[in-house]
Structure 1
Amino acid sequence: MSDMPERWSQASVYPDMWADPDQDPRTMDGVSPDGELATLQDYLKNYRLTLRLKCEGLDPEQLARRSVPPSTMSLLGLVRHLAEVERDWRNWVLPDDPAPKLYGARDADFEGAVAEQALVDAAYADLAREQAATDAVLADYPELGTRVGRDGIAVRELWIHRIEEYARHCGHADLLRERIDGRVGQ
């Protein structure tokens, strides 16, 4: 007998998907957004939502459950990590007034992800706050070719890097969630 959960999905139309298309909140009604900035914003919104979906319905112990030794990665760690990197991206734009680290040095975002409801609630609040703050800073730069910060990074690069970061970690979240309870999906 294995302690590994059986694979499952809530989807019935496409059983390898997270949810059926008519139940998936990421499914777009109509055509894709017009323009580069709107497209980037839409992709980021959907990856952010994907991370939340992958964590949905889990208790603090499940959210804090580590992948495999020696990794410290967990779904809760990913939430905390993405809050930290949202803050870091803001520091690239506004390098003269850097915000301090949220969780401490190095891998504290993952190492400090423990199974406590207050810590889970704080992590989600941190993520929402940091996302909103970074979105607000970047809203001041609608021209994607604008160079910002000490290193003159193009705003476009910040948007792409944010999408890449969420996409990569949503892939990790897929595997972590499947290991926790067997739920699979796109």
Structure 2
Amino acid sequence: MFLALEDDPRENGPSPGNERETLKEFLRCQRLTLEIKCSGLDAEQLARRAVEPSTMSLLGLIRHLAEVERSWFRRTMAGLDAPRLYRGLERPDGDFDGAVVEEAWATWRAEAAFTDRFIAEAPGLDVVGADKDDPVSLREVVVHLIEEYARHMGHADFLRELIDGRLGQ
């Protein structure tokens, strides 16, 4: 186990009340899971790729999830001109190439903070953004983000087991 149950910050967290608080709590727990899966690893371990030809690594997941939060919340929901951080036409796997660990964590935390502020300040979950000119509600985006994290936490389990044999919980 990564943590004793009594030390797990995902347990006994804020008690969800309404729909917004419930979604925020599920997102908080997914983010904490990413941090737990990456804890105690050095830069080389975080950058270790799964198996060839895959470019996936834990460091890449940190960067990818920062990019996902940025795309959905800065561009789609807030309508900001926020260029991609890592990927582009010439670097389709840019999320998973290179990077300094501290920079990746700082970027991820900044994007998560923007997301949290947007969710907290939105008048409601029915606020609409534009995803490629199709309207999408804040509710849909938050649920999608939780799903994105959950899917990648399965990848993180396998990556961590490959690195040091630790199994997910």
Cα separation, 2, equivalents of 1:42 and 1:142: 18
The partner residue of 1:145 within 126, 135, 144 is 126
Does 1:20 find its partner at 2:4?
yes
1:27-38 equivalences in 2 (<5 Å): 27-28=11-12, 32-38=15-21
Does 1:77 find its partner at 2:60?
yes
Once the two structures are TM-superposed, the CA of residue 140 in structure 1 deviates from its matched residue by 2.9
Does 1:180 find its partner at 2:166?
no
Query: Residues 56 and 96 of structure 2 are in contact (CA less than 8 Å); yes or no, is this contact kept in structure 1?
Result: yes
Q: Secondary structure at the match of 1:78?
A: helix
Answer with 1 or 2: which has the greater Rg: 1
Query: Residues 62 and 104 of structure 2 are in contact (CA less than 8 Å); yes or no, is this contact kept in structure 1?
Result: yes
1:31-81 deviation digits (Å, cap 9, x = unpaired): 841111111000100110000000000011100000011100000000011
| Deviating 4+ runs (over 6 angstroms) | none
1:31-180 equivalences in 2 (<5 Å): 32-90=15-73, 91-95=75-79, 97-105=80-88, 106-113=92-99, 119-149=100-130, 150-180=133-163
1:134-173 deviation digits (Å, cap 9, x = unpaired): 2222333241123223422111001101100111111111
Once the two structures are TM-superposed, the CA of residue 21 in structure 1 deviates from its matched residue by 1.5
- TM-score normalised per structure 1: 0.82
Structure 1 gaps of 5+ residues are 1-8, 10-17, 114-118
Query: Residues 77 and 128 of structure 2 are in contact (CA less than 8 Å); yes or no, is this contact kept in structure 1?
Result: no
Cα separation, 1, equivalents of 2:135 and 2:28: 25
Cα separation, 2, equivalents of 1:66 and 1:48: 21
Number of residue pairs the alignment of both structures matches = 163
1:60-116 deviation digits (Å, cap 9, x = unpaired): 110000001110000000001111111101211133x32001113121011235xxx
Instruction: Report which structure shows greater RCO (CA 8 Å, sep ≥6).
Output: 1
Residue type of the partner of 2:64?
Answer: H
Cα separation, 2, equivalents of 1:50 and 1:140: 25
Instruction: Give the aligned CA root-mean-square deviation in angstroms.
Output: 1.6
Cα separation, 2, equivalents of 1:68 and 1:126: 26
- TM-score normalised per structure 2: 0.90
